Amino acid sequence: MAPYEIRIIGDPVLRQPAVDVTDIDGRLVALAEDMVETMYAAPGVGLAAPQVGVQKRLFVYDLGDGLGPRTMVNPRLLEARGEFSWDEGCLSVPGLSWEILRPDEVHVVGLDLDGNEVSIEASGYEGRVFQHELDHLDGVLLVERLDPDQAREARRLVRDLMLARDASPEPAPRRGLTLR
């Protein structure tokens, strides 16, 4: 069983901006390890601390590129350019996805779990994962990135999802960023 339960749309913690991490210590490392386990169990490719109810500015991710799980502490988006549309889902909006337009290339800076500075220029899927997780740290869900037609559909689907979850003793299936 995963160490954390992933918070689902409707939970107010998902709408609150996370605060900067002030100390990188053993507790933060343990949090990141538990988040990675939770992310894999979901399954997903990224998970931000607010999604497990922790209001700290950090996220974990694994792009499936053989480098394994990584952590970004206090990440910031410095630059973004271009456009890239992709069918995007979220562990906090389980089972649903929408085509979302985001910048194609991003420059993200932050720290790793050793306190070393990290600077990553990313594009395509990797850039999308970073932007998605950064949104969570800013209290933004992917449904806020939808065009008006998608937003109408999303309100209906999310309402149905929440009603089904309330009526069912079993949690709904979880899904992260998707490749389509």
Q: Return the pLDDT at 159.
A: 80
Instruction: Give the tokens for residue 36.
Output: 């990675």
HSE-CB at 110 with a 13 A cutoff on CA atoms is: 26
pLDDT tens, 80-132?
A: 999 999 999 999 999 889 999 999 999 999 999 999 999 999 999 999 999 99
pLDDT tens, 66-91?
A: 999 999 999 999 999 999 999 999 99
Please give the Cα distance from 62 to 41 (Å, whole number): 13
What's the sign of the alpha-carbon dihedral 41, 46, 49, 51?
Answer: negative
> Which residue reads 């309330």 in tokens?
166
Q: Return the pLDDT at 169.
A: 57
- Cβ atoms of residues 109 and 78 within 8 Å: yes
- Cβ atoms of residues 46 and 39 within 8 Å: yes
Average model confidence (pLDDT) for the chain? 90
Q: Which of 133, 144, 153, 170 is catalytic?
A: 133
For residue 108, count other CB atoms closer than 10 A to its CB. Answer: 22
> Which residue reads 């169990």 in tokens?
41
Percent of the chain at pLDDT exceeding 90: 75
Q: Is the pLDDT of residue 179 over 80?
A: no
Q: Is the pLDDT of residue 58 over 80?
A: yes
Domains located in the chain, CATH noted? 12-167 (3.90.45.10)
Is-catalytic flag, 144? no
pLDDT tens, 18-36?
A: 999 999 999 999 999 999 9
pTM of the full structure: 0.87
> Which residue reads 């343990």 in tokens?
30
Burial of 65 from C-beta contacts in 10 A (0-12 / 13-18 / 19+): exposed
What radius of gyration, in Å, describes the C-alpha atoms of the chain?
A: 16
